[in-house]
Amino acid sequence: MLDSSFALPESIDLAIVGAGPHALTLVTHLLQKKKSMRGRFLVFDPSGTWMNRWNHQFAAFEIPHLRSPAVHHPDPDPHALRTFAESRSNELFPPYDLPGTRLFQDFCQEVIRRWQLQDCVYPAQVVKIEPLNLNHRSRFCLRLSNGQMVSARRVVIANGGGTPNIPEWVEQMSTSYPPDRLLHSSQIDLQKLRLRGERVLIVGGGLTSGHLAVGAINQGAQVTLISRRTVYEKLFDADPGWLGPKYLKNFWAEPNWYRRWQMIQQARNGGSMTPAVLTQLRRLERDGRITFYEQCQVAQAQWSDNRWRVCCKNSAVHECIQNQKIDRIWLATGSRLDATHHPLLQDILEAYPTEIVNGLPVLDECLRWRGCELFIMGGLAALRVGPTARNLSGARAVSDRIVPALTKACHLSIIN
C-alpha cells in the first residue's frame, strides 16, 4: 500500500481500476515488456492492497484450492508457480496441480515483491470516470471515494464489473425480514457465522453453492440445495480447448457478435461443480446432511414466525420445501455482466456510444473502447477473448492484447 505521505499527482499516464489477479497480471506483463512504464501508472483499490477481494472471497467460502491449474497465475513465466511450490508439492492438488489457496496467496505476494509492486495501489475507490477533451487531447477525470480527483491519459478497468444476480421472487417479496437471513453469496462470510442446528436453503447449482454447502454442513447446519437444473460436474468452467486455437480459431473467425455471445454461453453452460466437491456433497447426502432438489425453482418466499416459508414452482406436484422451517436463504446465483449497468461506464457510454451485445461491449482488437483510450479486462472483454476472459487464464490472454497498445512509443510522458 502507498503510505499516507504519498501525494496523489494531478495527472498520470495510466490508471488501473481494481487490484485483483487481472490487474496484477496486466502490470507484470506491462513491466516485462517495457520497464520504463514503472512510475507511469497507479492502481486504485479501496483496500489499498493487491488481491484483497480475491483473498477475502476464498477465506469467506473456505475454499481449499483453486479450480485453475498451476500454469495459470499473474506472473509472465508460466512455470513460476510450480517452481515456487517445489518445497510445497503437497499443496498442489490433483488433477493438473490445482494450487492450494494459501500457496497461491503466498505466490502472489512473492510476485508482488519480485516485481516491486508493493507501492502501486492507491487506497481509494474510483466512483466515476468522466471523459475530458482538453486541447483536442482526450483524457479522463477519475473521481475517488475520498473526494480527490486525478486526470489520466489512459484507463484500464480491471475490477470485474459484475452485479449480483438476484432472482425475481426476491424482488417481489412484500414482507420484511432480517437482512442477514437472506444473502447473496457475495455477502456471505462463513468464518463469521455460527450455524449449528440451523437449516440453510442454498439456491443455485454451481461451485459457489457447493463450497457454501460444505462450509455450512461443517458448522453443523442442515442444508437444502435447490437448483433449476440437474447439478452436474465439470473439472473447469470452460473446456481447456478454449485456451488455444482448438476452439478459439472458429470463435475468432465468427463475424457475428451475437453468434459469438451464444458460443460463450454454450461453452460456460451455466454453473457446474468440480468432481471433488460434488462427490463430497453426494456422500453428505447419503449421510442425511444435505437434500438436493434438482430441476426445481423457488416460486416465492415469506418470512413468518422467525422462519422462511418457501414454495417451489412445482408445489402442485410435490411439496418439496413447502413445509420445511428454513432459517437462512443463500443465493448462489452468480453475477450479471452488463456494460450498460456498470457504474464506471455510464459517462463513457454517453460520450462514446458503442455496440452492446447482451450486456457485452464490442471492443477493438486491443480491448479498447471504441473512440477513446479506455481498456476493459475480465468477463466484459469476452466477445474478443472468448469464454475464459474472466478466468486466470483469461487474465493472461487479455493482457497479451492490452499491453502492446500501452507500450507503443507514443506520448508516454506524464502530461500535466
Q: Report helix, strand or coil for 337.
A: coil
Pick from 19, 21, 29, 2: which is nearest to 118 by CA? 2
Q: How far is CA 248 from the centre of its chain?
A: 22
In the Cβ-directed half-sphere of 199, how many Cα atoms lie within 13 Å? 15
CATH architecture of 11-163+336-406: 3-Layer(bba) Sandwich (3.50)
203, 167 contact by CB (below 8 A): yes
**Residue 131 grid cell:** 471523459
Other residues' Cβ atoms within 10 Å of the Cβ of residue 56: 13
Cell of 402: 492490452
Phi/psi of residue 136, nearest 5 degrees: 65, 15
Q: How many other CB atoms are found less than 10 A from the CB of residue 325?
A: 12
CB 232 within 8 A of CB 207: no
Q: Sign of the CA dihedral 338, 343, 347, 348?
A: negative
Return the domain boundaries, the chain: 11-163+336-406, 166-234+269-334
Is there a common fold for 11-163+336-406 and 166-234+269-334?
A: yes
Cell 460434488 belongs to 278
In the chain, how many H helices and how many E strands? 12, 20
Backbone angles phi, psi at 325, to 5 degrees: -90, 105
| pTM of this prediction exceeds 0.85 | yes
360-361 and 356-357 as β-strands: parallel, antiparallel, unpaired?
Answer: antiparallel
Q: Per-residue confidence of the chain (416 residues) as pLDDT tens digits? A: 777 667 899 999 999 999 999 999 999 999 999 999 999 999 999 999 999 999 999 999 999 999 999 999 999 999 999 999 999 999 999 989 999 999 999 999 999 999 999 999 999 999 999 999 766 578 999 999 999 999 999 999 999 878 999 999 999 998 899 999 999 999 999 999 999 999 999 999 999 999 999 999 999 999 999 999 999 999 998 999 999 999 999 999 999 999 999 999 999 988 899 999 999 999 999 999 999 999 999 999 999 999 999 999 876 665 678 889 999 999 999 999 999 999 999 999 999 999 999 999 999 999 999 999 999 999 999 999 999 999 999 999 999 999 999 998 434 333 32
Q: What is the pLDDT of residues 27-78, one digit of tens each?
A: 999 999 999 999 999 999 999 999 999 999 999 999 999 999 999 999 999 9
* CATH 3.40.50.880 applies to domain 166-234+269-334: no
Length of the chain: 416
- Closest residue by Cα to residue 396 from 26, 101, 67, 62: 26
Give residue 64's identity as a one-letter amino acid code: P
Q: Please identify which residue in the block is written with the cell numbers 487464464.
A: 393
